Structure 1
């Protein structure tokens, strides 16, 4: 679809390209991402490569590296979008706006006055082979709560409000969080374990302790 857009439309103006991207390409990448999200770096890179290649064709973007293109175009990486959707979906489950798709009653929250509302994670089978553990480790029931629990207390504790209100607070926070997806050629510049929200939150916490101020490659 991305290739069809580039063949069919001659304009490379940012507004035109981004409109076509959001209308024709992005929905396919987003589809059902709350329930399925790749965890292997190669699969993450394959999905990220679609947006990386497309944004390079936008007027004025060719000379910028991918991380800087995301900032300039005000886009989230594909991995960040999937994490965002999972955080929103978990909040909707906790608020009873949508049923628990795992149908296991494991996705529920616990409240602590100091730490706020946190979602219980699905436990992994300790005695199962590693290849069997991989599937539940990347599932909504296990990885979703990890993403949700990494968010600031004031976002996790939002309750009795609309989904749009929660999204607005979440998006304001995510724009302050480094978005550095693992793409070929950038690996040496990635300081966090991954570009997932929890790992980037941990990185910011470490930087705050050491006074480190990072930058793009």
Structure 2
């Protein structure tokens, strides 16, 4: 479970996002990092029970978690550290071009998500073809009660083409999904849930509901 001290560290970091403060509080950071790593390890074991791709990947915590240091080279925001912990669970690891699950822990907000964000052009083309050819299956996945209960807003629509991609037209019943350039869904977790002993079970319930969707996307990408 996530410890209160972990969220307290992230809150303090948000107010003191500078290297001298971080260095002075490195021991507290290491404790928070260890706590999050323990949660990630639990989640890996839990996902392995319903996602064969994750089971076969034999993921370790280091394959899923991200460095707390920010890359500020091309950013106007020069804060040196992230003020959240995040973990990505995909069969190729966090840097792989495959669909997977994501957990975001922040002092004020936590969310779980999944899918594939802004896939490469070749993968995007494959996903669109798969949706077009197997739209009934795709619709059934998104309309499943287990999926809709946790992801009531469906897929995120922030990135989409204005016009139908080449080879498709507005009459296509799947066009609203074929227009998408990113294929993710997310769900906010109430802040009161983060510190509860059953937090990992709550996250795993959401990930399990998303597994058929993840499987559909990876099948498309892998051809």
Quickly name the TM-score band, shorter chain normalised: under 0.3
Structure number with higher relative contact order (C-alpha < 8 Å, ≥ 6 residues apart) = 2
TM score, norm. by length of structure 1: 0.24
TM score, norm. by length of structure 2: 0.23
